[in-house]
Structure 1
Amino acid sequence: MKRSRFSDEQIIGILKEQEAGAATAEVCRRHGVSGATFYKWKAKFGGLEVTEAKRLRTLEEENARLKKLLAEAMLDIAVLKDISTKKW
């Protein structure tokens, strides 16, 4: 997945800037992002603080790592079952 040009802290700052009363279009133009990107960020990070966003990021990374480990284990089990069912 492509990494954003903006860190989580910067994204939250941009969202807070809009919540403070600035027009969404003006905030998007000032930071060089599209409206769709802004609203996607708002859906993901809306209402979060910087520490919560960091925790969310670490949990997502840990979840991805665990999913990869589970997939590898399931593949190993499938191979072992396939080998054990074959007649020699």
Structure 2
Amino acid sequence: MKRRFSDEQIIGMIKEYEAGVKAQDLCRKYGISDATFYKYKAKFGGMNVSDARQLRALEDENNKLKRMLADAMLDNAALKDLATKNY
């Protein structure tokens, strides 16, 4: 999935919103929909840039661990299949 805005830019948008700029004006300025803005606000609201970087690192680590688990489960299933076959 290609991201159009970096975490820092999204947090900047939210800070502008909290400073009093209307959501519709921000959406028009950055070329995003209201739904996208509120999705960003739900995910990044109340964060600063370092928190967002830490969140990104944790998400990347979580994805890596999920891939490792899937590979291990696939290997386990293949070994069980081999063990049950009679040659």
State TM-score, norm by structure 1.
Answer: 0.95
Which consecutive aligned stretches of 4+ in structure 1 deviate over 4 angstroms post-superposition? none
2:72 paired residue number:
73
Say what the alpha-carbon RMSD is for the aligned residues.
0.7
Identity %: 59
CA offset at residue 61 of structure 1?
0.5
- C-alpha deviation, 1:3, in angstroms: 1.9
Distance, in Å, in 1 between the alignment partners of 2:21 and 2:50 is 24
* Distance in 2 of aligned mates of 1:4 and 1:29: 18
- Gapped runs of 5+ residues in structure 2? none
Unaligned runs of 5+ in 1: none
Matched, 1:25 2:57: no
Q: How many residues align?
A: 87
- One-letter amino acid matched to 1:61: D
Residue 5 of structure 1 deviates from its aligned partner by 1.2
